[in-house]
Amino acid sequence: MNIALIAHDKKKQDMINFTVAYRPVLKEHSLYATGTTGLKIEEATGLSVFRFQSGPLGGDQQIGAMIADNKMDLIIFFKDPLTAQPHEPDIAALIRLCDVYQIPLASNMASAELFIHALERGDFQWRHVVRSKGEDLK
């Protein structure tokens, strides 16, 4: 599975704690992240993470492009609901793409933990079918 990990500045420590706790599950998957978040995850866990630009510099849009190309299976995005973000339109576009393309999106620790346990159980195997059908259409 291709998993994107994104965290606003005030949520980066939560993302680090999450990835440390669930390293055994995450190491079995391809991980993608926006710039600083990806670096911090790599440093804390030793996991290999493909890093895009930071969110405000286009990283959210790069992940959105993967969603539109049917190459992303799960988004874990720890958003900071109490701080205004200068790239709010990009965030809204990313969330919209998840809705359009039926990509599961966890926006907080509670939903992320539910998704990670579902991933561990194999509940996301349907994404392999969806992704392969998308390849057939190209």
pLDDT, one tens digit per residue, over 87-123 is 888 889 999 999 999 999 999 999 999 999 999 999 9
Out of 60, 80, 90, 99, the active site residue is 60
Backbone φ and ψ of 105, nearest 5°: -130, 115
C-alpha–C-alpha distance, residues 74 and 79, integer Å: 15
Distances (CA, A) of 82 to 9, 12, 106: 12, 14, 17
90 is catalytic: no
Strand, helix or coil at 132? helix
Inter-axis angle of helices 59-68 and 88-100, nearest 10: 10
Edge-to-edge strand list for the sheet holding 74-78 = 49-51, 30-33, 2-7, 74-78, 105-106
Q: Tokens 């911090």 — which residue?
A: 40
Which pLDDT score, from 0 to 100, does residue 99 have?
Answer: 94
Question: The domain at 30-109 falls in which architecture?
Answer: 3-Layer(aba) Sandwich (3.40)
Q: What pTM did the predictor assign?
A: 0.92
Dump the DSSP string for 40-79. Answer: HHHHHH---EEE---GGGTHHHHHHHHHHTT---EEEEE-
Which pLDDT score, from 0 to 100, does residue 11 have?
Answer: 96
Digit-coded pLDDT (tens) for 16-54: 999 999 999 999 999 999 999 999 999 999 999 999 998
